[in-house]
């Protein structure tokens, strides 16, 4: 047999034929070119028929929020991203980029952005809701902040009524940054208490108006209650900052017992296994000159925030930091009977002043150490501790009428003087005359 005439180039080493390989490469290149051209066509078609289609022109931007400040912030974000009505199409808007830009605001809890064809962009913004006010000493250079239930620090200029929010007194602003969650265990414990009370059937009873660290023990917090039965106004509840639900159950037991017996609570300490309870705690001390006293027992008469006269043995004060303020200038100790609510208008006015200051963030500047009731008929003079903008011994002259209105006026003046860096020597609220410390 003759040996077949095969092309040695095409069969060398049993490898695929070179012509077949070349043909395969050409086919693959043609397919790749076709896919590339098809992709360009689809991209062009997508832009022309969808992304840049004037039929989907943005004609309306609908911002839904209960906070006008967040509405203004969202409009600024839209302007910075060049998203304006009649200027761009709805499909061309990067929803994620817009959502992230709006969500950077510390006041925003959540953002939802939707396209509503043919031409509406809908933005729904839920603001963070403050549940408490963070108050710092006037001299630390940090104004008040707000905080929500999650522990996120918020700006102080949030809209809405914050007068009814409880105030948390803190020694300094360390660990609190706007838009970030705090790790402060004391603040988190207080927020846990608020959360448990919100879920409690009788949670309104435990509504506090302020809180601070218990003296000499940073593992305890002192809550001051609004005065819902059986708590008296300004009642103090000492509570560990751990295991809040368990301590609230223990508090339930004591409250139920006091209600059944129709007894009040002015002080309770949940840090002990055997829970000490007092019916009332003093807020001020009434002082009388020796010639007005019939006995040494009348030297100091303690009175609580509701005006009830307490035993003289309780004149050393409650558990709040600092000594109790003294009221001088009263002339008749016989009108203050232990166990009864006093009716003296000057004492009632001073107690109202203390209460109004307790409810305001700026009230930390209005801590009196003494008040005189004999300066002029119908007026009282209050002497303050050194808390900016007041110098030590600064005098506040007030009428004993319309205390809330006068404290509101005082509150505005405090904020203005803090901003201007002025120090107050005296302020007569009846004549609006104010004296400043010379620079």
52-99 tens-digit pLDDT: 777 888 899 999 998 888 999 999 999 999 999 888 888 888 999 999
Report the phi/psi class of residue 183: left, alpha or beta, with left for phi > 0 and alpha for psi in -120 to 50: alpha
- Kind and range of the H or E element at 301? strand 300-303
- Residue 43: pLDDT band by 50, 70, 90 thresholds? low
Which residues have C-beta within 8 Å of that of residue 254, sequence separation ≥ 6?
265, 268, 275, 277
- Domains in the chain with CATH codes: 54-127 (3.10.20.310), 130-278 (3.40.50.10960), 284-436 (3.40.50)
Separation in Å, CA 381 to CA 39, 355, 402, 417 = 84, 17, 15, 20
- State yes or no: pLDDT of 27 exceeds 90: no
- Residue 12: pLDDT band by 50, 70, 90 thresholds? very low
- State yes or no: pLDDT of 291 exceeds 70: no
Helix, strand, or coil (residue 428)? strand
pTM higher than 0.85: no
Give tens-digit pLDDT for 305-342. Answer: 999 998 877 665 554 446 899 999 888 888 888 889 99
Contacts 24+ apart (CB under 8 A), 81-84: 83/58, 83/121, 84/58
- Residue 275: pLDDT band by 50, 70, 90 thresholds? confident
Q: Look-up: residue for tokens 């232990």?
A: 338
Strands 167-169 and 433-436: unpaired
Measure the CA–CA gap between 433 and 272, rounded to whole angstroms. Answer: 50
Residue 283 or residue 44, greater confidence: 283
Report the phi/psi class of residue 34: left, alpha or beta, with left for phi > 0 and alpha for psi in -120 to 50: alpha
Measure the CA–CA gap between 103 and 82, rounded to whole angstroms. Answer: 17
- Kind and range of the H or E element at 35? helix 18-46
- Kind and range of the H or E element at 410? helix 403-420
Name 218's bridge partners: none
According to the model, what pLDDT value does residue 44 have? 61
According to the model, what pLDDT value does residue 327 have? 93
Summarize the confidence of residues 163-180 as an average pLDDT.
87
According to the model, what pLDDT value does residue 315 have? 62
According to the model, what pLDDT value does residue 202 have? 83
Tokens of 195: 């959360």
Give tens-digit pLDDT for 389-422. Answer: 999 999 999 999 999 999 999 999 998 998 888 9
Give tens-digit pLDDT for 146-163. Answer: 999 999 998 877 766 677
Contact by Cβ (8 Å): 395, 381? yes
């Amino acid at each position: 047999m003759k040996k077949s005439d095969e092309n040695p180039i095409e069969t060398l080493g049993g490898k695929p034929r070179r012509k077949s390989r070349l043909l395969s490469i050409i086919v693959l290149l043609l397919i790749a070119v076709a896919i590339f051209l098809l992709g360009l066509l689809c991209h062009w078609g997508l832009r022309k028929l969808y992304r840049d289609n004037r039929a989907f022109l943005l004609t309306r931007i609908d911002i839904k929020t209960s906070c006008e400040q967040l509405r203004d912030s969202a409009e600024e974000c839209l302007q910075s991203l060049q998203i304006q009505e009649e200027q761009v199409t709805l499909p061309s808007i990067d929803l994620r980029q817009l959502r992230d830009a709006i969500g950077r605001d510390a006041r925003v809890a959540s953002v939802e952005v939707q396209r509503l064809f043919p031409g509406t962009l809908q933005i729904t913004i839920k603001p963070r809701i403050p549940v408490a006010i963070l108050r710092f000493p006037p001299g630390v250079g940090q104004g008040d902040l707000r905080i929500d239930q999650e522990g996120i620090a918020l700006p102080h200029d949030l809209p809405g009524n914050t007068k009814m929010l409880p105030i948390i007194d803190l020694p300094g602003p360390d660990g609190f940054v706007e838009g970030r969650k705090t790790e402060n265990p004391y603040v988190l414990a207080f927020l846990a208490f608020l959360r448990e009370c919100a879920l409690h059937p009788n949670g309104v009873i435990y509504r506090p108006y302020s809180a601070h660290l218990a003296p000499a023990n940073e593992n305890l917090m002192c809550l001051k209650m609004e005065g819902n039965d059986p708590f008296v106004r300004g009642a103090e509840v000492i509570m560990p900052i751990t295991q809040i639900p368990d301590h609230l159950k223990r508090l339930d037991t004591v409250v139920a017992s006091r209600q059944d017996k129709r007894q009040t609570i002015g002080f309770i300490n949940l840090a002990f296994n055997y829970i000490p309870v007092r019916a009332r705690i003093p807020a001020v001390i009434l002082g009388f000159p020796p010639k007005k006293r019939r006995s040494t027992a009348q030297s100091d008469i303690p009175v609580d925030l509701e005006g009830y006269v307490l035993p003289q043995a309780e004149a050393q004060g409650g558990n709040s930091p600092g000594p109790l303020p003294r009221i001088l200038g009263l002339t008749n100790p016989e009108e203050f009977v232990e166990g009864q609510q006093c009716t003296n208008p000057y004492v009632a006015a001073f107690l109202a002043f203390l209460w109004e200051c307790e409810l305001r963030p700026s009230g930390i500047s209005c801590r009196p150490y003494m008040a005189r009731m004999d300066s002029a008929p119908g007026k009282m003079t209050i002497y303050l501790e050194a808390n900016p903008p007041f110098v030590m011994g600064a005098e506040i002259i007030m009428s004993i009428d319309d205390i809330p209105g006068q404290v509101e006026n005082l509150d505005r003046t405090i904020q203005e003087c803090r901003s201007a860096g002025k120090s107050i020597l005296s302020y007569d609220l009846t004549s609006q005359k104010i004296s400043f410390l010379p620079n």
